[in-house]
Amino acid sequence: MPETRKHRPARHTPATRPDVLAATARRADAIRLRIAGATFTDIGQQLGIDASTAHRDVCRGLTALHDEIREEAAALRALENARLDVLQCGVWEAAISGSIPHLEAVLAIMHTRARLNGLYAPAKIAATDPTGENSYLGMTDHELREAARQVLGLPAQPMEGTAHADKS
């Protein structure tokens, strides 16, 4: 007589449980509504949840997207590093044998790898005015107006809120 097995219902992994899938879909809907300009109260009403759950769904959904993007960026960085390895291997022997063009190629590859992996200190950028043409002076608007008056030879004006001399 053949052995019969008891039928067991399929088990879901944590990521494929129906409640998890429903929450993931709801979070995506909440993010779409928020992007469209809906308030958390509006989102809650449209999705049948309260405003605090709508807020939590948007935050958790954005965090999950951020984590996914970070993982994809890490995978891309690993791929680019592997490509640089292949390129460097192709010119390495000639470079260490003294070929200047090959040595320059290796240095360029090393520079690219260091930038890709964030090994250089951040570039310092000088602050400028909104046009980007003039150095930032670190002056308040009032100080700038006073400096302009002096350059133009205009009389100084009293600051707002100060007492004026009586004109009797």
Tens of pLDDT, residues 43-69: 999 999 999 999 999 999 999 989 899
Residue-level pLDDT at 115: 93
Residue-level pLDDT at 47: 96
pLDDT of 5 over the 80 cut:
no
Q: How far apart are CA 143 and CA 122, in angstroms?
A: 32
Residue-level pLDDT at 82: 97
Tens of pLDDT, residues 11-39: 667 767 888 888 889 999 999 999 999 99
For the chain, give every domain's residue range.
Answer: 14-124, 126-156
Among residues 65, 63, 23, which one has the least CA distance to residue 47? 23
pLDDT of 139 over the 50 cut:
yes
Q: How far apart are CA 141 and CA 159, in angstroms?
A: 12
